[in-house]
């Protein structure tokens, strides 16, 4: 990386960014208080299920008006609030029912897809509000030897328009880019190094050719042996 020694870089994006809840979101809401039995009753009331198998999660869908249906509280407006603001609202509203409630709200449907020259391509769920490009790549098993670190593509939805940004991990400017912080439903594609691919292809061709030659020589030796006998 072209990074000067002992330096500081100011990022353009606040890592504490708390996205606003939209109608299409699915939320995980958990409550902890000094009333354990009531906590369990509340936490068991989720209605939405997403994912399959071990990755299956339960949570809350928003209705067409942006509300969620909660135990004790009924309909609560969620759309337009951040997860932190919604957690604070639910916590305050539950105070008459639960002793010292603590509420945590997370997105269940926010994810980042990592593809290309990584060891383990996968879909990563953004449980928190902040994930960096480096976080995403490390969680996908890091880059392969054949990865082009200067050509990492991020595809992002913005107002129904697909935006594409090419990032260079070998440049210090990447950590100051607004694209360094992942947003929900981003797609990260790590491009391959063509020189590495060409080298590996030549290596495979040489190995295949050598194997064919050895097999041919072995067959020729067997044929000659039979002819001489």
Same domain, 117 and 188: yes
Please tell me the total count of domains within the chain: 2
Question: What's residue 68's pLDDT?
Answer: 93
Rg for the chain (alpha carbons), in Å? 27
pLDDT-derived band at 115 (thresholds 50, 70, 90) equals: very high
Question: What's the pLDDT at 219?
Answer: 66
Do 159 and 120 lie in one domain? The reply is yes
180 compared with 214, residue with greater pLDDT? 180
Give me the CATH number covering residue 80: 3.30.1950.10
Domain-embedded: residue 205: no
Do 92 and 73 lie in one domain? The reply is: yes
Which band of pLDDT confidence, cut at 50, 70 and 90, is reported for residue 54? very low
Between 146 and 224, the higher pLDDT residue: 146
User: Rounded CA gap, 190 and 115, in Å?
Assistant: 6
Judge whether 209 lies within some domain: no
Whether residue 144 is found in the same domain as residue 103: no
Same domain, 186 and 118: yes
* 45 and 63 together in one domain: yes
What pLDDT is stored for residue 62 in this prediction? 92
pLDDT at residue 32 above 80? Answer: yes
Same domain, 37 and 83: yes
Average of per-residue pLDDT values in the chain: 81
Within the chain, strands assigned E span 26-32, 48-50, 57-61, 67-70, 74-77, 102-107, 111-116, 122-125, 147-158, 161-167, 187-192
For 131-165, what is each residue's pLDDT tens digit?
Answer: 899 999 999 999 998 999 999 999 998 777 889 99
Closest C-alpha among 30, 64, 60, 56 to residue 46:
60
Q: Structural domain of residue 92, as residue ranges?
A: 26-107
For 18, counting Cβ atoms within 10 Å of its Cβ (0-12 exposed, 13-18 middle, 19+ buried), the class is middle
In this structure, are 126 and 187 located in the same domain?
A: yes
Asked if residue 48 has pLDDT above 80, the reply is no
Q: Tell me the CA distances in angstroms from 16 to 19, 102, 104, one per residue in order.
A: 10, 20, 16
Q: Are residues 47 and 99 in the same domain?
A: yes
For residue 149, the domain's CATH number is: 3.10.560.10
Same structural domain, 119 and 65: no
Q: Take residue 138 and report the two structure tokens written for it.
A: 């490390």
Do 31 and 84 sit in the same domain of this protein? yes
**Domain assignment present for 125:** yes
pLDDT above 70 (res 227): no
């Amino acid at each position: 990386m072209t990074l000067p020694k002992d330096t500081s870089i100011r990022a353009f994006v606040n890592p504490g960014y708390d996205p606003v809840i939209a109608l299409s979101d699915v939320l995980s809401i958990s409550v902890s208080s000094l009333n354990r039995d009531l906590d369990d009753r509340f936490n068991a009331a989720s209605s939405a299920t997403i994912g399959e198998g071990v990755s299956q999660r339960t949570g809350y869908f928003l209705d067409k008006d942006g509300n969620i249906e909660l135990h004790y509280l009924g309909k609560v407006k969620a759309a337009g609030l951040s997860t932190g603001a919604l957690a604070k609202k639910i916590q305050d509203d539950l105070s008459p029912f639960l002793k010292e409630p603590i509420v945590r709200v997370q997105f269940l449907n926010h994810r980042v897809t990592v593809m290309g020259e990584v060891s383990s391509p996968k879909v990563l769920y953004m449980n928190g509000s902040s994930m960096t490009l480096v976080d995403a790549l490390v969680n996908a098993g890091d880059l392969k030897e054949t990865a082009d670190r200067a050509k990492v593509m991020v595809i992002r939805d913005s107002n129904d328009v697909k935006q594409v940004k090419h990032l260079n991990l070998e440049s210090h400017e990447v950590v100051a880019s607004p694209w360094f912080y992942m947003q929900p439903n981003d797609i990260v594609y790590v491009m391959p190094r063509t020189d590495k691919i060409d080298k590996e292809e030549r290596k495979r061709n040489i190995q295949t050719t050598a194997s064919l030659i050895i097999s041919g020589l072995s067959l020729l030796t067997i044929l000659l042996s039979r002819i001489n006998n």
